[in-house]
Structure 1
Amino acid sequence: MKLFKKPFTLILALLFVATAAYSQDKVSDTELTKFANAYTDIQLVNEKAQKEMTTVIEKSGMEIATFNALYQAAQNPNAPAPAEVSEQDTKKFEATVVEIEKLQPKFQKEMEDAVIKNDITIERYQQVVAQLQTDPELQQKLQEKLQ
């Protein structure tokens, strides 16, 4: 279910990348294992979050496709508004976004707990994320650990 990949990716980005301290400290094999375990646990939180967001949207009476179209339009103010969206849908969308935003602190806490439970600090997790963005060898090692 990739309905919320972009919204939840935004949450992840805010939590783990936007404030990342860009450190070039070498990542040990043990540390990468801890990171991989935390990453896997975060993926589980992500799946849970997607299910809960889907439930919120469905309870609002909106179609998932309509919500996603409005969300994408909201992300790009220069994009034209979806043609088949009513004013009622727009109001439902705004109320639904508020409800989804209320869930974000809970999921952020669960992600932080997932990192800490795997014996790695939030700061170090962020540093490894930053290194992964520019280090293909480290990316390969992580892929191997995730398989």
Structure 2
Amino acid sequence: MKITTILLATALTIGATTAIGQEQMLPAPVQEIAPSVSDKELEKFANIYLEVQAESQKMQEEAVEIIQTEGMELERFNEISKAENDPNKDIQTSGKEEEQIASISVKIQEIQTEFQALITEKIQNEGLTIQRYQEVYAAVQQDQELQQKIGQMINS
């Protein structure tokens, strides 16, 4: 159950955070040189990261509750979801399961939209724009030193 919950959480978080970038702005151009990031911006980014993790946990719990309320086992939901995203996998579903998946999908989309709005608000409350947040994120992805600084900020 723990692994399937992790799979669900990862899918929800990736879907929601990816949607932030898609709806709020055009994708940032790929930069060969990481943009300069101040310690203050890095601290804001770390604060946002911690809040996103907490909210992601809440969203995950809500999603699990939705799946269970719809009468579907979490393992089966994950199995069907993985198959839908893998063109090499073919899975048979019953009419009842298809109805459950449709209902679950609508409800999960609602909580993802709420999550996205909440994260956007948290980014803005920290004094960053979505674009700058994405730039800092890209810089952190490219720079091990920034990754270490973020790690220290988060763990202190």
TM-score (norm. length: structure 1): 0.87
String of CA shifts for 1:6-51, please: whole Å, max 9, x gaps. 2322221232488345563211111100110011111111111111
Residue 40 of structure 1: aligned partner? 50
Match of 2:16 among 8, 11, 18: 11
In structure 1, the gaps of 5 or more residues are none
String of CA shifts for 1:29-85, please: whole Å, max 9, x gaps. 11100110011111111111111111111110111111111111111122121x6x5
Residue 148 of structure 2: aligned partner? 140
Equivalent pair of 2:12/2:60 in contact (CA under 8 Å): no
Amino acid at match of 1:88: K
CA distance in structure 2 between the partners assigned to 1:62 and 1:131 by the alignment: 41
Counting matched residue pairs gives: 145
SS at match of 1:27: coil
In structure 2, the gaps of 5 or more residues are none
RMSD after superposition: 2.0
Residue 41 of structure 2: aligned partner? 31
CA distance in structure 2 between the partners assigned to 1:66 and 1:27 by the alignment: 43
Residue 74 of structure 1: aligned partner? 84
Residue 88 of structure 1: aligned partner? 96
Amino acid at match of 2:87: P
Residue 127 of structure 1: aligned partner? 135
Identical positions, percent = 31
Does the C-alpha gap of structure 1 residues 77 and 94 become closer, same or farther in structure 2, counting only changes over 3 Å?
farther
Equivalent pair of 1:21/1:123 in contact (CA under 8 Å): no
TM-score (norm. length: structure 2): 0.82
Residue 107 of structure 2: aligned partner? 99
Amino acid at match of 2:18: A
CA distance in structure 2 between the partners assigned to 1:80 and 1:121 by the alignment: 42
